[in-house]
Structure formats: C-alpha cells, structure tokens
Structure 1
C-alpha cells in the first residue's frame, strides 16, 4: 500500500512548520526539564535519527504547586536497549563499508534517550527534525563526532517510537513534516491505518497476528475456559479483542479479564491474583509489560497459586528478568508464549565484545555501562568528576555475560537492524533513481545529491523498498507493516533448577507451526493442561447450555431412548431409523429385536396352560352331560344346544392358542376369524336357549300354544346357524378386503419391537367385535327378562350371570388392549377370551354338574318342574 502525500509542500508551509517546531521546542524544554545525557552522535552525508529507552527509572514529576511541572532526569542504564543502539551503529558501519549499498555515501546518526516517556520522546524528535540535536540548553549538549560540522540540517528519517503510544504521538506530530518514522517495537494494529499515520513504518508485526496465534493455541489444545490479564491500554485491550474475535464460534470462552495499570500496579496485581485464584480457569493469557507480570507473579506467590498455565505475549515471553527471578520458578514454570522472531547478525557479537570506552572517549553511554559493569571509571579527560576508581585498562567484555553481550537470541535488536537497512535501501533508491525505478545494487553511480534528500522524497521510496537482507531474508513493507513472523517459546526447567527459553515453533502470518512434543507444561510433563468450564460431554450425551452462563459452561444430558450421539460435545442427539434403536450407552443404533408372545416364555406358558385347562374342563363337562343326557337336568336345559354350547366354548379356548407364537400370514388371518366365529356361535346358543325359555313360559299362557312351533329343534338350529353365518360373512369380507398381516410395531419405543398382526382395517375388526357385542347385549336383556320365571331351576338366571361377566370382561378389554404395549396387548386379548369363556362355562354348567354329580336326588323331573 503506497503513501499518499503532497509532493511539493509550499515553501511558506515548510518555513511555518520549522518556526513552529522551534517554538514548541522552547516551550517543552522550559516545562519538561533536560535529560541528563542528550544522546550519541556521528556525522555523515545523511543523518538518521534514533530514539531509544535507554534508562529504566521512571522520572518523578514534581508537583509542589510552586512552579511549573518538572520531570526529573532518568537514571539507571538498561543493558538491552543499549544493545539496540549498537545494533543501529553496527548496521550503519556495515552499510558504510558496503560497495553495493549506498556506495560513496556515509550514514551518520543522532541517537537520543527518550526514557520511556512520550514527552521526552517528542522533545528529542523536535530537536532532530528542527536541526538542533543538542536538546534544550547548551550546558547539557553532549559531545559527538564533528559536532562543529553538524549545522542545523534536519534529519530525513527517525528510527524510534518504542511503544505504540509513543509511536502514535510521534507519527501525528511528524506527519505534517513528512518525516518517516520506523518503529522497532510498536505493535498496535491501529498504526496500520495509512490515513491516520501516513509516515509510519515498523519492523515489528501487528498485535493482530500474535493475538490470533494465541487464539489458535487455545483452540488447538482445547482450552475452552481461559482467563486474561491485560495492560490497561491499547496494547492489552486490542489484544484481548482480537483474541475474542478469533475464538468466536470455536467454543472457547474468556472466563475473566483483569486489567493492570502501571500507576496502581500493586493493587491491580493483587486483585488479578485473587481473581485467578478464585477462577476455575487453569490457563491464563497475559498481555502486558514484563514489570507488571513480575508484580503479578509476586502476588500469586504470596497466596500460593502455583497450578496455572500462563500464555505469554511477546512483551514478556523472552524477559530474562522474569524467568531468572526465583518467584517465577515457583509460580510460572512451563510458560508458553509468542516471541518476536529471532535472527542472527553475523559479526555483531564480535563487534560488541570488542567495544571499549578508551576507543570512544566521547561515548557517554558506553562509559556509563563500563562504570556499572566493572565498578571503575575509564580514563577520560572529558568527564573528570567521578567518585569511582580509575580502570586499569585490562577490562574487557569478552568474559561478560549479560543482556548487552548476549547475542544468542536477537529479537528487538534484529528489528532495529532491519529498520536501518530499510532506511538505507530507501536512500539508495532515492539517490540512484530519481524516476522511481530502482537500479541494481551493484551500481556505483548516483543520480541525486545527498543535499537533495528531503523527508518527503525518502517517504515515497521507503514505502516501496523490497530487498534481501545480509541474512538472506526477503524484506518489504505492506503499507506500514511487514509480513508477520514470530517464534513460539517455552520456559523449561533445567537440572540446575533454573528456567531456560526453548524454541518450540514458529508463526508465519496466520500459519502456526508447533512441535507439541517439545513443550514442557507447568506440571513438568508433556501432558497438555486442561482448562474447561465443563468437562466434555462423552458420546451418548448432548450439551445443554446453562441459562445465563457462557456457552462453555454446560451440562451433559443423556440422550433419550431411541436417540444417539456418537461424538464428543454433541449439541443434538440424532434419532435412530425405525428399524433400529439406541444401545444402552446411546452411542450407536442397533437393529431392533423382534418380540412376540411365545410358548417358551412364562406368560405364554401360563396362558397356554389356562387355555388347555379350559379345553379339558369343557371336555369333562361334555362327557358328564353325554353320560347323563337322559336325566331331567340335561333334558330340561335343551341338551342339543348345551352340547353345541360346550363345543363352541371348546373352540373359544382353542382359538386363544392361535394368538400365541410368532405371527405369520395364516395365523393372523385365522386367529381373528376363529375368535369371532367361536364367540358368535357361543353367544348364539345362549341367546336361542334364552328365547326358548321365554317361549316355553309364554306358551303356557292361554292362546299362546302355537308359540313353541316357531321355536322347535329345527328352528333353534337354524337360528344358531343364521347368527353364526352372519359373522362368517363379516369375517370373509374383512379377510378378503383388508386382512391382518404380520408387521413389526415400530411405534412402540424400545429395543424390542413387537411383531404383531397389524389390523389395517379397523372397521372390519370393529364390526366383528360389534356383532359379538350386539348378540351379547341382546342375550343379556332377554335373560334378564326371564330371570324370575317360576321354574325351580331357571336357566335364565345362569345365563344372566354369565352374560354379565362376559360383557364386563369385554368392556374392560377395550381400554386395557389399547393401553397395553407390544405383546402384552395380545396377552390382554387372550386373557379376555379365556376369562369370558371360563365365565360362561362356570356360570352355566357348574351348577348343573353339581346337581348331576353331587345331588342326584335333585335330578328329577318333579323337582325340575316345581315352582
């Protein structure tokens, strides 16, 4: 993405900006005080500015209300930022000695310490772009190379803006001047906006990529319940926002977000530690500066929270101050973090260890570092006042091991190195090709003079740089950014009891390359820690989100009968096809087992025994009646119909056996027909017997002698045949049009599915039962009318009781049959058949057999006819 700028700003505007800069510089110097050390300088054909946070002690602000606010000078030299400074110096020395890059052009530098304070960074930037690098007062002006030759020439480019806040302030300030700013650590995604920050570039990747990388780690390791501790600024809030956007839809939730404010770090860290202790989240993401993390770890150690897995942002993942701290080993071993990519700079280590203040007497930064490291003052005529003893000249950095000399993992240092080379290639393009077409690097000709260099021209060429670094890395800008590259690191314990930094993977853009087997977690093992609000729902269950809680907090509900879930954390249970049913674990559908009332099971055996017993009892009664057929008891009760009734009862008992066993086509058709015809024959016999009794007593009345002619033996047999033929016709029509067929009853839930005779025509079955019911009701009414006829042994009473039992059984049968599941519906029907058959048999024939067998003296015509 190119930079849209005004190509030739008016001379008046340039002059106005220059005057404005000087006025603002004078004002800021009067209010902010002066820095103890102004900077490090080297003259050249082109001067590049540098801003670094060299000192670590935060400046105190005097507010005694008797004068304007005044920032005290920073003290205390930091080793790592000093290495950044010398990476810039080393890169410029390489370029100045190069025969292909900027041949014949010497680069110089003006480096200032901004002390992590945006006002001082802006003050230093003012002095650089204003053409006066000596800061505010002449007394504090540092010495440098060829100071007298610097003049008031403004710098065309600044490398600096260590934090996102400082970079935003400087970018907004420098935009009207078109002075490019290349930051080596500012990572806020907001700085990618070319409309707001057209002069900003960086060799540090945007935080979007590290937040997405951490989100990918959470998803990859199935950490669905994580806490977050962030800096209370754009860095922290933007990181957690991008993280939440990335995990959306991945069933990962943020349990809590705690913020840390630098001004209230102790109280904020205490609150965050208590929140971590109370939370069930075992994985904690931390997006903040390492000094804040150190305070947080101290607070966690005080309350003995040692079982959390921390995931680090690049701001503290490689901080040696942290992983070498004794508290860290107790609280935060096994940290996994995203780090600025590391690269080597050939010759840089040799360059550092050979530095000596005796060779650079004007270098105050190196002199201060030497005094701190060796406890002596190097011989220097420029700095006479010093309480330290003089150095003996044998001191050397070759045996020193600290952050300044450690070049094993160059991260921010390499970003500074890249920034210098990006600036050099932009200058090379500007000086070689005024038309914008880059010449090859081996050219020695120049098309422009260094005096023609302006920030605006350099800005246009900087946005188009595309080169290969001495390390073989392809480098170019995408707008303000470079292609994102990170290292994935892990804090692992050593046998000596210390923590060391181990490389476990890389991030290239949005691609995550991770060696999981190389990770040592906080438990000291390779077992990935678990951080969930609710344990995963196993197969056979489904997730039910708890009301009012995040989606990561849920209950596991067992799938209903007939439903399954065959994967972990299933949201829904799937219903099995009709032919299948869920297994006991609800994880698979298995074929349903056919079930029917068989002769081998207890219920089938019991019903069979009862039916056979009924057949035997009926046969015994039949034999008794046959042997005593000439006695008055048998003759008085219409022996022919009695024998027919016994035969029909035997058929009723036998037809119940057809209902037992595996239903087949013939049994389904025969059982209902046999049942309907047998009971119609039985009820028809009872109805005719009742009619005969009524007719016999009516014929005794005067004028009714001819009534019995209509109810003679032939008429009785004809009536029974007629009633039975009607049922036979109904059954034939039913079986022809829509016969019952054996079908599994899939509508009844369960693993066992009943194989039953499906009645497709409910009308046919209803007509069969209705006809039986009609005859039974008619018989009951007739028998009820004849119950008080004046015979000593009135059979109508017995028929009345038997039909009452018959009707009661079949009225109760209907709801029982409908509500009974599976094969038990068949058992209910068999029970109704047997109960009604036994009712008829016992009520009608038991009293008669009692008299015939046990009271033969009552089996006389006289007693039968007595009133």
Structure 2
C-alpha cells in the first residue's frame, strides 16, 4: 500500500496536484480490528466518533479503508463503515456474505467472492467426473460459509458429499479430534477431499494427514492456502497425493514480481524520490517470494488505485489540475463504484455487488521427491463461467498418471435407471428400463413412459414412433390370399353351372339336388365376406363381415346336417321307424330345419351387431412397435354364442355323417361331410392355438387363412368329388350304377 501511494503521489497524470496520506493499523485481533475501524472514523482532530443523526457532511480522519485481510474482521468493520457509507476495499476477504449490498452497501473488494470460487470448484468436479467427495473447512466465517455454499452448489449438480466437517480451531497436530476427522475421511473411501480453509487451519490439517500416512488422494485447495508456504512447507506433504486448486488469476505485474525477484524496481527504498521517507528498513525482496503474498500485494495495489481513480473523477482532475473541494466518503464511494481503468494490462472495475470480474488460475502442485513447484494447468473465466484445463500439463501423483476416480457407484449402462442405495444419490444400483419406457438424461432415477403412439425396447434412452399397421391390399400376403379367395369364388360359380347343367343326373340328386345351389350360394356369400378383411378398416366393413360369414356358414352347415340326416334316415332308420321319415318329408323337415337354424344364427349375429358392434379399432397392446388398425373383436357373450352355435351345428352334422360312413359309395356324402368338418375343426383349432401364442401384425392374415381353408375344405370335401365324377367319370353317373350299388349294400346288410 505504501509503495502504491508513493507511486500515485509521484504520478503527473493521476491526482496531479493532490498528495495522498495514510494511516496503518495492525489488525491482529477482533479488538484491534474494532479499534482500527473506529480510529479511521474519528474526526480529523479528535480521537473519538461523534454520534449524529446525519452523516452526509461528516468528516472522518480517512476517506477510504483498504482491508482488513480476513472475512471475519471484514464483516465487523463493514457493518460499522457502511453506516457512514465509507468506501472499504478488502484485498483478501472473500466470503459471499459481503456481496449483500443491502447489508454492506460500502464494501468492495479486489478478490473474487467465494461464490465464484465455489462455481469454479463445481466445474472442476464435473470435468474430472468426481461425484463422491469429502469436504472440510476451517472453523471461521471463511470456512463455514465456504463449505455451506459449496455443499449447496454440489448437491444441485448431483455431486455427493460423503463427509463434511470443520477443522477444530486452536488445535495442534496431536489433537485426537483432528486425527478422528482424518480417519473418518479415509473411512468414506473418497479419493477427493476439498479443504476450504484458511492457511493456519490447513497447515494443522495436513500435518495430521501426513502423520496418518494418508497417500494417493486428491486434495482440492482454495485460494487462501493453496500458494501459502505455511502449508506447502509441511514436512512430508509431498506424500499425500495430488494437490490442486484455485488461485486468484495472476496479473502481468505479479508475473514481473515473480520472475525478476530482486530487480531494482521492486526495491521501494532504492531512491529517495520514489520511496516513502518513513520506510527506514526497506530491503530487497527475496529471490523466491511468497506466491500468495504476491497475489495479495497486487490486490492491495489494485484497491489503492481504485480509490485514486475514484478521487480523480470526484475532484475533476481530467482538466490537468484537481479541485481542492471538501470530499465526503459517500461521494467518493459513488465514484469508486464507477471506476473502469487499465492497470498493467488488467481492467479494474466492480460489478453491482462490489466484486471484481477477476477469474482464477487452476494450480497444481508438482513434486519431484521433496522438491515442489506450482504449475498453472488451467483457468476459470467469468461471464460466462467457464473452466479451461490444459490436460497435457497435468501430472497426477499416481502410479499410472491417470485421473483418480472418486465415485460411489459405477455409471449405469445405456437405458438403465439408478436406484438409490442409502442416503446419497451417488450410491445406486442399476436397473434396466422396461419396454415401453425410456431413460431421460434429465432424470437418471426414473424410467419415463412413452406416449401411447410411441414404443421403446428394454434399455432404451428414447422412444420411437409406432407405425399404423393393417392388412393392406398391396402386401404380398394379401395378393396371395386375394388370389386364393377369387379362385375359390370362380370354382363355386363353375360348380354351380356344372350342377345346373347336370341337375337330373344321379350324382347331383344324391348330393342334395336343388339344395346344392343353396349350399354353393352360402359358400360364395361367406367367401365374399373375406374381402372385408383387406384394406383400412371402415365402419361398414366391420359391420358386415362377421354377420355375413356367420349366417352364410350356418346355412351351409344346416344343409350338410340335413343331407347327412336324410341319408342315414333312408338307409338305416326308415325301416325301423317309417313314421319318422314320413313325418320329416311330409312336413318339409329339411326346409324347416335350415330356416330355423339360420334364423337362430341371424338373431345372434344381429343382436351382437346392435349391442356390441364391431368397429374400426386401434390396438396398442398386442405389438409393441406397431399400432394394429383392425375391426374390434370384443370377447362378449353373444360373440361366443355365435361361434359356439356354428360349432354345435358342425358337431350335429358330424355325428350323422359319421353314422353314414358304411353306406354305398355312391351315397358317400357322409364321408365327404366328415372330411369337410375335420378340415373345419382343424382350421379352427389351429387358429385359436396361434392366437394364444402370437399377437403380431399378421394375425388378421392368419385368421383369414383359417376361414378360407374352412370354406375351401367344405367345398373340396363335398362338391369336388361330385364335380370330378360329372366331368371325368360319366360311367359312374348313371341310374344303373347307383341301383347296383344299393343292391350290393342291401345284400351285405342281410348277410350280416
């Protein structure tokens, strides 16, 4: 400070006709700090402070205060000086509390606030991926506020503090309490410990660390002790591991002081024209100066110049001569807050909180055995806050020179959520996100559900859009099924024509005569309903396909049941119960049965259509990655009754057809019907078995194939053999051949 004031007083441009004076107080205790504060506030001629109601014209002994150095003392003095709005600029007090302008309106500083240092440390933890750390602080305002602010900032960034404690004040290295603290830190198995402490407490702490033989760890230091010889001179400290931390960013002037050591321009007593005359014991700086003292000295240098520039502006010195007006502290405070000047290539100005815009250097201690040095490996800059690291300059004091890991749990794999174990979020198990959920990087502890229109596999970190799927007309499987359906329709039409041309022949009569056309028409109608399964489902399509198929197929089954009963009745029952057959024929039994059974199926289908209609429906459940767009098929009682009714008709038909398996081969409708029904049963069982194990996009196609095979089986089993005889075995389609077959059957029955 004395050197800076002499430099300003000898300047021809800054305060040209003004001479600055000063008083220096030794702030060695709280009482000395209070005495100094009240001393500078005393009027110029009396050593006492007058208590008056208006301080706007109060004339204290000094216009500004530089210091004190510690946060604790600064909090006391700032509280008192703020009442008088006396400018106070500290060069080392860094506690965040002093930035509160509603409490300390006249406090400024040339060292960054601890809030800035905390932000730099958090970025340091993130860059090195350390999220499991210990934290200790000195039992002072600096340490307590520092670790409190740091703890809050780290927990917001998912950095867990495994241990947090205060270094006991006024203890030495033999303290049991200190030894237990170090052992507790080691017990947490953290590899990184942040020491937010003043120099004296940090020295005692590391003395215990050395005594406890703690090695291979990382120690993160604050600007207060990182460059202090008081700490780096601890015997054996080079064995503790890696020391890294923050130091207030170096200026060009500091670099000159550091590099030149004993140059003459640092000797403030070298000439009578440049040295304060009261300095009777001035001497050369040592060849290896205290690096931290150099930074602190530059902060004092900047603070004095800030006061000078504020006074320069207040006295209107830009004209070449300063006014000799009365100056009050509050006037000077306003001007100091507005200063913005260059000092040895560094811009000096204050933000709204009275803090400088200075950043930090990232410093690492380097050892070669007991010999050590400080190496700048990066920097922290503000607006925006950014930490830059020169990775090539880092030397870790580990066996493989790799970044030491300090984590509680290893990172989870992609798509695995964290399940917290214990009290700390950094300690967790990993569980895969199930299908239909994804892990968002904003919340690593919760698997979030995808939207209804999206899907995600297991271990997913994102959701994918689901495609709407239906049995399109253009798909290859659709072309194959359409071809088969159309072919079946053509065969049914061709068979109807052939039967119409040969309606008087024995084969057509034995097949049922005119009833064959009803069966062929029903099969054709059922086949036409299969076209409703293709394309994008519509309301009309869904309404028609089930009733049309069910009613048509019921007609066909009813005709087959009637035909089976008639054949069995003629050959086996007519002789035993002739009245039964006569009644059946006389009262038009076949027509009544077919009409009644069809009416029952029609009633069931139409009731289902009214109560629980089939409508276009998007199924989101069956296939994870698709939305199946199809007609709804709710498992209602009426639907089950409609299906069961056709099964009942089939069983009824099967029983009578099986009874006629030993009839003349010309009347082998029973065998044909049995074969047709076996195909129907096989197709139905196959479909329901497939339905129980497969719910994919081709389920509609499988259902369609089952229905097509059923219709084709009925046609092939019942009509195809008869068509073959009509077209290719005319010798078997004669009255004589049929009579011979009946006579042969009658003979066998009698002989039996």
Question: Is the shorter-chain TM-score for this pair beyond 0.5, marking a shared fold?
Answer: yes
Residue of structure 2 in register with 1:41 after alignment: none
The 2-side partners of 1:545 and 1:594 are apart by 37
Q: 1:468 to 1:664 in 2, by over 3 A?
A: closer
Q: Is the 8 A contact 2:223 2:247 kept in 1?
A: yes
Q: Which deviations, in whole Å up to 9, do the C-alpha atoms of 1:728-751 show, x marking residues without a partner?
A: 99999x99xx99999997642256
Question: Is 2:301 the counterpart of 1:417?
Answer: yes
Match of 1:114 among 27, 39, 55: 27
Q: Which deviations, in whole Å up to 9, do the C-alpha atoms of 1:191-228 show, x marking residues without a partner?
A: 34455445544333322222233234344555444432
The 2-side partners of 1:706 and 1:565 are apart by 79
The 2-side partners of 1:211 and 1:546 are apart by 26
Question: Is 2:82 the counterpart of 1:169?
Answer: no
Question: Is 2:318 the counterpart of 1:483?
Answer: no
Match of 1:501 among 375, 382, 385: 375
Q: Which deviations, in whole Å up to 9, do the C-alpha atoms of 1:137-195 show, x marking residues without a partner?
A: xxxxxxxxxxxxxxxx9555543322121122334455677765442212223234455
The 1-side partners of 2:16 and 2:79 are apart by 34
Q: Is the 8 A contact 2:132 2:426 kept in 1?
A: yes
The 1-side partners of 2:454 and 2:84 are apart by 80
Q: Which deviations, in whole Å up to 9, do the C-alpha atoms of 1:394-451 show, x marking residues without a partner?
A: xx847x42436x79x831101212233344445556xxxxxxx531346335424xxx
The 2-side partners of 1:199 and 1:705 are apart by 122
Deviation at 1:337, TM superposition (A): 1.7
Q: Which deviations, in whole Å up to 9, do the C-alpha atoms of 1:569-604 show, x marking residues without a partner?
A: 7554563885976498776749879899xxx99xx9
Residue of structure 2 in register with 1:447 after alignment: 324
Q: How does 1:118-129 map to 2 (within 5 A)?
A: 118-124=30-36
Question: Is 2:434 the counterpart of 1:520?
Answer: no
Residue of structure 2 in register with 1:381 after alignment: none
Residue of structure 2 in register with 1:329 after alignment: 238
Residue of structure 2 in register with 1:57 after alignment: none
The 2-side partners of 1:232 and 1:199 are apart by 27
Question: Is 2:94 the counterpart of 1:187?
Answer: yes
Q: 1:488 to 1:472 in 2, by over 3 A?
A: closer
Match of 1:460 among 321, 327, 331: 331
Deviates more, 1:97-106 or 1:582-591: 582-591
Deviation at 1:487, TM superposition (A): 2.3
Residue of structure 1 in register with 2:109 after alignment: 202
Q: Which deviations, in whole Å up to 9, do the C-alpha atoms of 1:16-73 show, x marking residues without a partner?
A: xxxxxxxxxxxxxxxxxxxxxxxxxxxxxxxxxxxxxxxxxxxxxxxxxxxxxxxxxx
The 2-side partners of 1:593 and 1:155 are apart by 83
Residue of structure 2 in register with 1:686 after alignment: 561
Instruction: Say which SS state the counterpart of residue 461 (structure 1) adopts.
Output: helix
The 1-side partners of 2:183 and 2:631 are apart by 71
Residue of structure 1 in register with 2:138 after alignment: 231
Instruction: Say which SS state the counterpart of residue 412 (structure 1) adopts.
Output: helix
The 2-side partners of 1:778 and 1:439 are apart by 115
Instruction: Say which SS state the counterpart of residue 259 (structure 1) adopts.
Output: strand
| Count of residue correspondences | 659
Match of 1:861 among 746, 749, 752: 746
Match of 1:256 among 153, 163, 173: 163
The 1-side partners of 2:623 and 2:635 are apart by 26
Q: Is the 8 A contact 2:438 2:463 kept in 1?
A: yes
Match of 1:707 among 568, 580, 583: 583
Deviation at 1:485, TM superposition (A): 0.6
Q: Is the 8 A contact 2:454 2:464 kept in 1?
A: no
Structure 2: any 5+ residue segments left out of the alignment? 48-59, 485-505, 718-740
Q: 1:442 to 1:285 in 2, by over 3 A?
A: farther
Q: Is the 8 A contact 1:818 1:825 kept in 2?
A: no
Deviates more, 1:807-816 or 1:546-555: 807-816
Q: 1:641 to 1:547 in 2, by over 3 A?
A: farther
The 2-side partners of 1:529 and 1:593 are apart by 51
Instruction: Say which SS state the counterpart of residue 273 (structure 1) adopts.
Output: helix
Q: Which deviations, in whole Å up to 9, do the C-alpha atoms of 1:494-517 show, x marking residues without a partner?
A: 667523231622434653352443
The 1-side partners of 2:250 and 2:343 are apart by 16
Instruction: Say which SS state the counterpart of residue 208 (structure 2) adopts.
Output: helix
The 2-side partners of 1:531 and 1:185 are apart by 31
Q: Is the 8 A contact 2:350 2:357 kept in 1?
A: no
Deviation at 1:866, TM superposition (A): 9.6
Deviation at 1:288, TM superposition (A): 0.8
Q: Is the 8 A contact 1:226 1:254 kept in 2?
A: yes
The 2-side partners of 1:718 and 1:244 are apart by 91
Question: Is 2:295 the counterpart of 1:401?
Answer: no
Instruction: Say which SS state the counterpart of residue 256 (structure 1) adopts.
Output: strand
The 2-side partners of 1:581 and 1:828 are apart by 28
The 1-side partners of 2:123 and 2:378 are apart by 15
Give the TM-score taking structure 1 as reference length.
0.58
Instruction: Say which SS state the counterpart of residue 335 (structure 1) adopts.
Output: strand
Deviation at 1:491, TM superposition (A): 1.1
Q: Is the 8 A contact 1:543 1:556 kept in 2?
A: yes
Structure 1: any 5+ residue segments left out of the alignment? 1-87, 136-152, 367-395, 430-436, 609-629, 843-855
The 2-side partners of 1:248 and 1:779 are apart by 73
Match of 1:290 among 183, 195, 199: 199
The CA RMSD over aligned residues, in Å, is 6.5
Deviation at 1:300, TM superposition (A): 3.5
